Amino acid sequence: MNGQKSGRREGGGAIEPHEPELLAPFEIVEPAELLSPLVFSSPHSGRIYPARFLAAARLDAASLRRSEDAYVDELFAAAHAVGAPMLRALFPRAYLDLNREPYELDPKLFDGPLPSFANTRSLRVAAGLGTIPRVVADAREIYAGRVSLEEALRRIEALYKPYHEALRGLMERAQRRFGFAVLVDCHSMPSTSAREPSVAARAEKKRIDFVVGDRYGASAAPGVVGGVEERLRARGYNVQRNRPYAGGFITEHFGRPAAGWHALQIEVSRGLYMDEATLEKSARFQAVVADLTEVVAGLAQDVELDETLGGPRRMAAE
């Protein structure tokens, strides 16, 4: 199963069921001309639901969609305007989570013993949020029964590995062209964090609009992250760094500053741009898009001028 390159896709509110399988695991939205070392990834905004998955689920489609980073690929559509590609998954996070190790497998979900190479002890697995999630974001069980190991491995081979290979290819291409690469991993978060201990504590805590994660300084040069934060704050947003989201597997795996690969994760509060109950875009959607367009343009300028990111630029044609 191969990914596909295409133009921009218009958003919509409904899921898109497919039978028997997905047409492609991902889509690469290429710019008219490659002008930037930036690479954008949206691993959780897919909404094409395999019909077989919907039939096996105990939850309805609306409940399954609560795990989506709905419309995040559209929020960051300005990638093409700065000459950068956007890689976006077409399948949903509830089906397979790309921001995990390839084999974070939950023993509670599968109907037989797991292979020795599986990571069955991570905190994410313990929460039911492994590579093949057992629960959706509100801890509700996805499946009516157990899942076969064969089915899990099939999803990993057909979806997970092609996406990560494509992302690696985009990073390598950027580094060949510019001497370094900067990954922007795009996500959304609930407007209130489940990590808060009580309703009262949430009420006292100032609203968080964006969280910028760099694995506590390990995945990107300081200038990359600082400019994003400053531009968001200048537009009136409350921005946190690394708390409560420092970056997942993608940021950790692709963030290798010493090798010229930088990665940051941006989490956008869903309450800024959508109705979290109905999953419909709100009246503020276009305003958030406009703000992020300016932030992306500023980031593209920052990485072009920052001489600490990865050595001399190589501008020769591929």
Residue 16: what pLDDT?
Answer: 60
Residue 309: what pLDDT?
Answer: 85
Residue 112: what pLDDT?
Answer: 87
Residue 194: what pLDDT?
Answer: 41
pLDDT tens track, the chain, 318 positions: 345 454 333 334 555 655 545 568 999 999 999 999 999 999 999 999 999 999 999 999 899 999 999 999 999 999 999 999 999 999 999 999 999 999 999 999 999 899 999 999 999 999 999 999 999 978 999 999 999 999 999 999 999 999 999 999 999 999 999 999 999 999 999 996 444 444 444 543 578 999 999 999 999 999 899 999 999 999 999 999 999 999 999 999 999 999 999 999 999 999 999 999 999 999 999 999 999 999 999 999 999 988 878 644 443 333
Q: What structural domains does the chain harbor? A: 4-100+159-305 (3.40.630.40)
CA distance 238 to 206: 8
Strand order from edge to edge, sheet including 38-42: 4-6, 26-29, 86-89, 38-42, 181-189, 261-269, 210-213, 239-241
Residue with tokens 């990834």: 41
